[in-house]
Amino acid sequence: MSKPPSTAARDVVRKVAPKLIEMTEEVVYGDVWERPGLSKRDRSLITVAALVAMYRGDQLKGHLERALVNGVTKDEIGEVITHMALYAGWPTAMTAGRIAAQVFEEAK
């Protein structure tokens, strides 16, 4: 397993909780995301849906960026957000939509 590239968010948290970041890089991204049972694209769709449902905007931004890299389209992200409005609430989906719009704009 290769170590995933660091991110600005992880670098900030690493100063406070280095073991948390070590576990994030080794277990979450080094093991779970590399398991063969689901594609990274599917894992991204699942993760985005979960983060929308849990109203985790800080984490959602990075995972939307990762989803695009993993082959999830902007239209598919829009569908996930729309679908989650029915299960996680309208305000939650509206917030996710604003975050996605920002990510899409930055990705141009």
Q: Binning pLDDT at 50, 70 and 90, where does residue 1 land?
A: very low
Residue extent(s) of CATH 1.20.1290.10 domains in the chain: 39-107
Write out pLDDT tens, residues 61-104: 999 999 999 999 999 999 999 999 999 999 999 999 999 999 99
pTM beyond 0.85: yes
What pLDDT, in 10s, does the model give residues 36-46?
A: 999 999 999 99
pLDDT at 8: 82
CATH placement of domain 39-107:
1.20.1290.10
Under 8 Å between Cβ of 57 and 80: no
15 confidence band (pLDDT: 50, 70, 90): very high
How many CA atoms does the CB half-sphere of 90 hold within 13 Å?
0
Q: What is the rounded CA–CA span in Å between residue 16 and residue 18? A: 6
Q: What is the predicted pLDDT for the residue at 106?
A: 95
Tokens of 75: 């239209």
